[in-house]
Chain A
Amino acid sequence: MTLKGKIIHKVCLRKIVEVGILLLLVAIPLGSGCLFSDFYIALFLRVFIFGIMMLGFDLLAGYCGLASFGHAMFFGTGAYVTAIVWKYLNDSVWLAIFIGLGLNTILGYILALLCVRTRTIYFVFLTFAFSQFFFVTANSWRLIGGTDGIAGIPLPTLIPGISLGHRTSFYYFSLGFLVIAYWFARRIVNSHFGRVLRGIRQNEERAKFLGYNTSLEIRKVFLISALFASVAGTLMVGFQPFVPPYYYHWSLSGEFVIMEILGGMGTLVGPLLGAAIVIFMGDILSTWFKEAWMLCLGAIYVMCVLYSPEGVTGILNNVSVVGILKKLLSRFKNGFYLG
């Protein structure tokens, strides 16, 4: 088979898998109530919402190589704006999404201008510092709830008269957004812009030398990932009508990083898988180990970083057992230092 044929074959295979998974996800609510409890619908919803978040995060961290440790600020802003809009203004879901997107555009634009001046570990610190600004503000400002957060948020409506309050209808709504987000992210990755981003990750000097304004490209992708996070924040409020200041906390940003690394950076599918693994693992492990489930998740995370730096997708891509054993052996020989 020629190289072109191989690539076409791979893309076809991926499309088939994507459509298959989509059909499966569409079919899942049909089985709730008889095959499994309604609780699993909620878990899947959580996966979708974090999945949208992670798609945006992957564009920035995976494709551009700039891990942000403050992505919770966009998520939190989306959530807070939504809560305020639904509680005091109007319970239309579209209004909340658009106001959230608008505010996050302004916010992302300003922060991108500031953060783009730094790279590597300094970028992590700077985004971290900015997200802490928001956390401190949300935590101490009584007008938006302070430490208590915002409670008593009404359920959203799709159009006046049709409520999205029911779990299943909100499930399909979120699934629709996830599909759109995935399609959008895939388009970005396959475009010229996506290639430039990968070029920046590999060698920024060289990308600059080729005539690309790398700062501008980084600002663009920062803004795009902020918008993904904003939509995720809005959906999160629809799913859970309560907004705590935790949505701004750096430990939530840390969770995003864990999902990203567990799933595999720069693959789009990987972070989605990572989100699913972290959420389902949290559910399964906490029934087995009660409060100690974080310990097990931590151990799995460390094992993943040590033995499969490409994450779960890395494992799925080279499932040959011999290869994995060889890799393990060479890792043992070279010691455990992560260079």
Chain B
Amino acid sequence: MVIRAGLFDIETVQAFGIDIYKVFNLLFICCAGIAAVAGVIIGAMRSINPVMDADFITVAVIVIVIGGLGSFRGAVIGSLILGLAESFGAQAIPGLAKFTTWAIMAAVLLLRPEGLFPEK
């Protein structure tokens, strides 16, 4: 709640006596921790290389956009949609597998900018 309030109006939250910068710092630390867990799992699953960042940041962006910013349910379902689209797309139209994921992202942004499963 504090985080969302901080995003909405940072000065009001500070007026309540909350150190919002500390909260954001904690949030960032938690994010890094969760990403590290995902990194451990992926490292056990497939090969790793120093330019992995480019692959994963784009995938993360697509998932978040499909699901809707600030929606956990959206993130989970979005990643499912993305994974299925990528593998089935590769089977249906080989060579354009990447194309399908970007097409989904563009379509979602154009038709429903708030994402498929926005937070209520």
Contact = CB atoms under 8 A, between A and B. Distances in A.
Q: Classify chain A: how many residues form its interface, as a range.
A: 20 to 34
A335 B21 contact: yes
Contacts of B44: none
A33 interface: no
Nearest to B10: A339
Interface string B6-48: 0000100000000011001100000000000000000000000
Contacts of A250: 58
A133 interface: yes
B10 A122 contact: no
Interface residues of B, number: 21
B60 to A, nearest CB: 12
Contacts of A126: 106, 109-110
B59 to A, nearest CB: 12
Contact of B110 (A114, A335, A336): A114
B99 A337 contact: no
A117 B65 CA distance: 16
A136 B109 contact: no
Contact of B24 (A117, A118, A129, A337): A337
Contacts, number: 47
Nearest to B61: A125
A121 B115 CA distance: 13
A136 B98 contact: yes
A118 B106 CA distance: 11
Nearest to B106: A129
A132 B102 contact: yes
A140 B109 contact: no
A130 interface: yes
Nearest to A120: B113
Given A130-B106, A339-B10, A122 B99 contact: no
A136 B113 contact: no
Interface in A89-130: 114, 117-118, 121-122, 125-126, 128-130
Given A122-B113, A140-B95, A337-B25, 7 more contacts: A122-B65, A128-B61, A132-B98, A132-B102, A136-B102, A337-B20, A339-B10
Q: Which 7 A-B pairs have the closest CB atoms?
A: A335-B21, A129-B106, A337-B21, A132-B102, A129-B105, A126-B109, A136-B98
